[in-house]
């Protein structure tokens, strides 16, 4: 699909319960972890692909990327020491469709992935997802007290356009705090 392709209603429906590959490899500076891919991402095969998602602008405004990348340029991230994965791999229209068991199993799989890939930091994008996946009901944005192996765990706001608690500038500021903590 091209950069300008807007999935049709049929393509979005067909994307339900599919998966998209991680953009990851060993030794990254930061492995960003979404809650789960939405239908738009499932239909395009690109993470944070839905128009209005603030991941890509926040990534650039925080200084992680030299220019604002588009979702279809996600394969450029590893060269910058960055990657993307998800707590739950299954695509859904809304994160509320995920079960507690999916979050728990996703958290366990994420720990195994982090121990294998050994990024400097794991950045989980979504407070509720982190709390559910790791049984940390009081977790707040910022560094978490328990690393995974040698990997720092950092909680960031969900960049979805539906997250009214944070503006783009607020999300970018939290991304920048993480970037300063992990260095170049």
User: pLDDT tens-digit profile of 118-165?
Assistant: 999 999 999 999 999 999 999 999 999 999 999 999 999 999 877 778
Q: What is the mean pLDDT of the segment spanning 61-72?
A: 97
Q: How many helices (H) and strands (E) does the chain have?
A: 6, 5
Task: Report how far apart, in Å, the C-alpha atoms of 108 and of each of 20, 113, 137, 140, 142 are.
Answer: 19, 9, 17, 20, 21
Q: What is the pLDDT of residue 184?
A: 74
Domain locations in the chain? 17-182
CA distance 140 to 136: 9
Is domain 17-182 given the CATH code 3.40.120.10 in the classification? no
pLDDT in tens, 9-58: 999 999 999 999 999 999 999 999 999 999 999 999 999 999 889 999 99
3-state helix, strand, coil split of the chain in percent (to 5) is 40, 15, 45
CA distance 18 to 12: 11
């Amino acid at each position: 699909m091209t950069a300008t392709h807007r999935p049709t209603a049929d393509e979005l429906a067909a994307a339900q319960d599919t998966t998209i590959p991680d953009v990851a490899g060993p030794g990254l500076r930061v492995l960003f972890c979404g809650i789960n891919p939405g239908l738009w991402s499932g239909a395009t095969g690109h993470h944070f692909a839905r128009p209005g998602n603030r991941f890509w602008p926040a990534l650039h405004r925080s200084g992680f990327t030299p220019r604002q990348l588009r979702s279809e340029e996600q394969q450029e991230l590893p060269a910058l020491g960055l990657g993307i994965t998800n707590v739950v791999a299954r695509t859904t229209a809304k994160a509320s469709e995920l079960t507690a068991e999916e979050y728990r199993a996703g958290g366990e799989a994420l720990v195994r992935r982090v121990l294998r890939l050994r990024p400097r930091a794991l950045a989980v994008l979504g407070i509720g997802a982190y709390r559910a996946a790791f049984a940390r009901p009081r977790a707040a944005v910022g560094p978490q007290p328990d690393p995974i192996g040698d990997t720092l765990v950092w909680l960031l706001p969900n960049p979805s356009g539906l997250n009214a608690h944070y503006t783009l500038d607020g999300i970018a500021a939290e991304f920048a705090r993480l970037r300063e903590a992990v260095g170049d």
